[in-house]
Amino acid sequence: MDDKTILNRIAELVDEEHRLRADAQAGESGTDDDARTRLGELEESLDQCWDLLRRRRAARQTHGDPDAQGTRPKPAVERYLQ
């Protein structure tokens, strides 16, 4: 997965997260258990994507191989600060 693909995936996840949060604020769906579960999944996936992107960039800056970086498990990147 290259940086552009990761950034596109981040944009897709953020768009979906914004839609769910907007629906919740509008009093539509978004407050039910399924929506809360999905929001949690989105946050975890975003953490993974940001982590991978940062590690790829760091590898590139240190003359490493960005393609050698893989997605780490969700617990390893949970609550990643951006």
Express each pLDDT in 29-43 by its tens digit.
556 788 889 999 999
60's CB contacts (< 8 A; 6+ apart) are 66
pLDDT given at position 19: 92
Alpha-carbon span 68 to 59, nearest angstrom: 9
DSSP secondary structure code for residue 72 in this structure: P
Say how far apart CA 51 and CA 69 lie, in whole Å: 10
What pTM did the predictor assign? Answer: 0.83
Classify residue 58 as left (phi > 0), alpha (psi -120 to 50) or beta.
alpha
